Amino acid sequence: MMAPPTSPVLDALIARAAMADAPRIEAVDLEGQRYWIKRPEVLSLRWRLQKGNPARLFARERRIHRALMARGAPVPPILAEGEGYLVLPDSGPSLEATLTDAAPDERLRACRAAGAALAGLHALGLAHGRPHPRDLCWDGARIVFLDFERGSSANASERRQIWDLVLLIHGTYGLSPRETPEVAALCDGYRQGDQRGLWKAAQAWAKRWRWIDPLTRPLQRYEARHKPHRRYKELLAIPLTFKRLGA
Ligand X SMILES: Nc1ncnc2c1ncn2[C@@H]1O[C@H](COP(=O)(O)OP(=O)(O)O)[C@@H](O)[C@H]1O
Residue numbers at the binding site for Mg ion (CB under 5 A): 135, 147
Non-local CB neighbours of 231 within 8 Å, separated by 6+ positions: none
Non-local CB neighbours of 132 within 8 Å, separated by 6+ positions: 96, 167, 168, 171
Phi-psi region of 121 (alpha: psi -120 to 50; beta: other; left: phi over 0): alpha
Amino acid (one-letter) located at 78: I
Distance in angstroms (rounded) separating the CA atoms of residues 69 and 124? 11
The residue nearest Mg ion at its CB is 147
Q: Which stretch binds ligand X (CB under 6 A): 6-14, 45-53, 83-91, 181-189?
A: 83-91
Nearer to ligand X, 76 or 120 (CB): 76
- Which helix (H) or strand (E) is 123 found in, with range? helix 104-123
Pair 131, 164: CB distance under 8 Å: yes
> In DSSP terms, which residues pair with 6 in a beta bridge?
none
Among 76, 115, 129, 189, binds ligand X (CB under 6 A): 76
Residue 137 binds ligand X (CB under 6 A)? yes
CB of 94 to ligand X, least distance (A): 4
Nearer to ligand X, 81 or 90 (CB): 90
Among 38, 39, 65, 112, binds ligand X (CB under 6 A): 38
Residue 143 binds ligand X (CB under 6 A)? no
Pair 237, 173: CB distance under 8 Å: yes
The residue nearest ligand X at its CB is 147
Which of 76, 110, 109 lies closest to 96, judged by CA? Answer: 110
Q: Which stretch binds ligand X (CB under 6 A): 85-93, 99-107, 173-181, 194-202?
A: 85-93
Total interface residues for ligand X by CB under 6 A: 14
Residue 172 binds ligand X (CB under 6 A)? no
Amino acid (one-letter) located at 241: T
Q: Which stretch binds ligand X (CB under 6 A): 50-58, 129-137, 154-162, 216-224?
A: 129-137
CB of 169 to ligand X, least distance (A): 18
Pair 133, 95: CB distance under 8 Å: yes
Residue 26 binds ligand X (CB under 6 A)? no
- Cα 44 from chain centroid? 24
Q: Which does 210 bind (CB under 5 to 8 A by kind): ligand X, Mg ion, none?
A: none
Q: Which residues bind ligand X (CB under 6 A)?
A: 24-25, 36, 38, 76, 88, 90-91, 94, 134-135, 137, 146-147
